[in-house]
Amino acid sequence: MINFFKKKDKQVLKPGSLPDHIAIIMDGNGRWAKKRALPRTAGHAAGAETFRRVATYCKDIGIKYLTVYAFSTENFNRPQGEIDAIMGLLEKYLYESIEKMERDKVKMKFLGDTSVLSPKLQELIAKTEELSKKFDGVQVNICLNYGSRAEILKAVRDIAKALYLEHDTASSHEDALSELTEDTFANHLYSADIPDPDLIIRPGGEMRLSNFLLWQAAYSEYYFTDTLWPDFNEKELDRAIAVYQSRERRYGNIQPRRELSKP
């Protein structure tokens, strides 16, 4: 049983108003390593361990969805050795996750263009997602080779292709476009069937989204902290959630929208 009262920090979390979906930009691994005169790969290894702890904690306190920005499309511009190290850590994590999924009941989904990854990684991703279909627990979404602008362009291309194949005249194209809604557009994103994040957390001191969930973040609450990702822990997450719980979410209205009570 999780104790939502943190005596040291005088932090009180209200279980009934936890965010359903938390998204995290895992930033600061390289700077963490540099401060310790370590190679950047050591920072990524420490960040991977932080991810394990945070994901487990989210499961324990009842968060339904956790989405993490693991590797962006732009990250492929980094030195090949660093890319290989990150992919090696991911491969190791997936092997371990597959072994533990039956016990932990954690679902996993990958958002992004995984077609450019190694055959071994693609195989592990497919196996992980297939096993996940059996479980109803917390869902961890890993954004890998992900960029939000590319995701939106993919959705537009998919919709245009569908229009071209299903409608053979300009007038029928126009009629179909007039019926396009936010929901139907969202169904063509990588995150289809996943609710938008309630809370987006960015450790590492930067205050930007860096091409992360641009469509989905329209009404998310943001929390920025100078803590580097490898130093991020359960108490840091509690602080972020407490700030989220202190805010009134208006969604463009004058009065806050009262959310339904969550079990």
Q: Residues with catalytic annotation?
A: 27, 75
Tokens encoding 90:
């991911």
Task: Identify whether the C-beta of residue 44 lies closer than 8 Å to the C-beta of residue 83.
Answer: no
Task: Identify whether the C-beta of residue 32 lies closer than 8 Å to the C-beta of residue 46.
Answer: yes
Sole residue written with tokens 């805010």: 247
Q: In the 8-state DSSP scheme, what is residue 113? A: -
Task: Identify whether the C-beta of residue 233 lies closer than 8 Å to the C-beta of residue 5.
Answer: no
Residues 202-211 as b or e (16 or more Cβ within 10 Å = b)? bbbeeeebeb
Left, alpha or beta for 144 (phi > 0: left; psi -120 to 50: alpha)?
beta
Give the integer Cα–Cα distance in Å for 35 and 5.
Answer: 33
> Going by C-beta distance under 8 Å and a sequence separation of 6 or more, which residues neighbour residue 25?
69, 200, 201, 202, 203, 204, 209, 210, 212
**3-state SS class at 234:** helix
Left, alpha or beta for 79 (phi > 0: left; psi -120 to 50: alpha)?
beta
